Structure 1
Amino acid sequence: MFVAAGAALALVVVGGGTAYAMDNSVTLDNDGEQQTVHTFGGTVQDVLDSADITLGENDAVAPSPDTEIGTGDHVLVRSQRDLTVEIDGHEVSGGVHAATLEEGLPQLGLDPEGVELSEDLGAEIPEEGLDVTAERAPRMVVMYDTVRTEVRTTGETVQDVLDAAGTEPGEHDIVSPEPEEEATDGMVVDITPVLGEPEVEEVPIEAEEVEEEDPDLPEGEREVVTEAEDGVKEVTTATILRNGEEHEHQLREEVITEPVDGLVKVGTQQEEGSAPEGGGAAGDLNWAGLAECESGGDPTAVNSAGGYYGLYQFSEQTWQSVGGTGLPSEASPDEQTQRAQQLYNAVDGNWQSQWPVCGVHLHQ
């Protein structure tokens, strides 16, 4: 059995008075029972005498009997009572001068916030004594930058953990998890100190400009539908302490005005009668023969393996290189032929580089 050595009464009494030859009204707390005592005396002993209280050998009183008191002061009297706490497989016990568990536990060297008890903290300790069981409260850690404080607490929130550790973050300090979040066994609460006052700056949010093809506009013509407008955000920065060193850190940002993206329509309509450049030497070649070999003469043909389209089985990349838009298989047969002739001219008649198998039909 473990007996707390030197268990002493630790009571706080508000006020200290000066004796006057008048009726003093004093609150007397005798083992948790309070009463108002009137006395013409000016000391704690006079209050005890007026209340017909004689201190026993093991009783304690605060303030001491010879302390001067006055109206509005408090006097506490506590008899010695046995308190036994079974915790972590052993007992902590001793005589305490306490009316409740909350008063008695510190006299046994136990933190009321650091244990979970079988009785409420406000439970009275009867004259015959009290036995309770307890479990150590969950262990938690508070890190104030590099300063570590370990606590045990039954508190339910991070703020309760901070209170148990005696840590009060500064106004702008960063606490993670946030104070209102739930406390969990073994958690580590990190506090990042913020040095000085944060600074707030307005920063533009760049708007984007989106281009959209419009077949109703002449090719190359641009029409602004919506002007792009930049937004604004407030960025708050501060100097923080991290691992003992100062760093600039962004605390938060808040969008004040959302950006408005611009929209520009780009015309793709070709003038009537216009066509991609073809003809020339290429115009006299056997394009029908090439088309029959490549696609069976089907302008909407799509290679089963994917990636090649139309009469002449253009890839999208090659089609775009000669000015085509969309898919080749969606263009008219005339446009496909003119684009193919344009390609032939662009490669200086090197048909083998474009149609290595069927290109021979061009010259038959």
Structure 2
Amino acid sequence: MKYGLYGAVLAGLVGGTVAWTNVDKTVQLVVDGQRTSVHTTASSVRDVLSAAGYRPGPHDILAPSADATVHDGSTVVFKRGRLLRLNVDGSVRDVWTTAPTVADALNQLGYSTQDFTSVSRSRRLPLGPTDIAVRTPKLITVVHDGRTEQVSTTDATVGELLGQLSVPVGADDLVVPATSAALTENARIVVKRVVRRTVTQSQPLPFATESTKDPNRTAGDTTVVVPGRDGLARITYAVVFVDGKLAGRTKIKAVVVRPPTTKVVKVGTKAPPRAPHVAAVSPGSAQAIAQKLVKARGWSSTQFDCLVTLWNHESGWRVHAGNPSSGAYGIPQALPGSKMGPGWQDDATVQITWGLGYIANRYGTPCGAWSVWQGQGWY
């Protein structure tokens, strides 16, 4: 009986040890790549995680499944989801990942190591949301200082790229698009050098002419009493050069260095004495002389008609016509009359010949002179 009792007790102890061994297990728990051995009496994966303080979410990865039975030596892999708030070249989206680091996550999403990231690639991802800006390389054309170059860059703005290329931008320089503009694929950046200066130049001031009547002088004679002289001014301009070329000029100051001297001229108004050997020519006879001279120049009858109209207005075709205001004299109203040459006072042929030459040199034809006269009242 004694030995039988001992045997029963021993059998109970052995059976209990075997049963406890089936309850107590060692499980390998791998959380986000970190392996830990845990002793547990849990029967399912869910219970193992719960005992370790983990609760799987909809974005987590669990293997085997939460309801799977665990045994001694089982391995449970648990990868927790991380929310990435990505801004890729200005396009925003949310992505869930179970990658432990930024590099692993971006690699899974297909982003190259050549892309710019606002967060270090070696950084481990926290369980909370992570904001990451990604900029892919863009081909940009930069034109500056007479050169054109193409570069591939992940810089965000025009200003950042110019800084990377060591292209200085002065306060007055023009950059298109602006330095704050975001870079886009195949963008063209133009840097124009703007230089502002002040320039001072000398400028003549033309003199005026003042005429006074002299009744003691023959009409057509003029005498310079005071010679005119141009003045001088210093003009200061604000000038703008763009890439070395003048783009604009604004006058900002004018200083008179020397004022102009007015030219004073005395103009004779006395009727000239008539030469005793030259008979006065009537307007009709003067026109007959003019008609022959006009024809000799090859001008048409239309040109002669224009000449008749013109000199009707100027002198009425009178040889001794004098303008008391200006001193002009004769049929063509020359000023002074003496420049018509010898015989200018009485000779209709001299006056008409000079007048036709003046018209031809200045207006081309009598009709051209008459057109000007109609616009301004003199020719």
TM-score, structure 2 as length reference: 0.34
> For the pair shown, which has the larger CA radius of gyration, 1 or 2?
2
> Of Structure 1 and Structure 2, which has the larger fraction of its residues in helix?
2
TM-score, structure 1 as length reference: 0.35
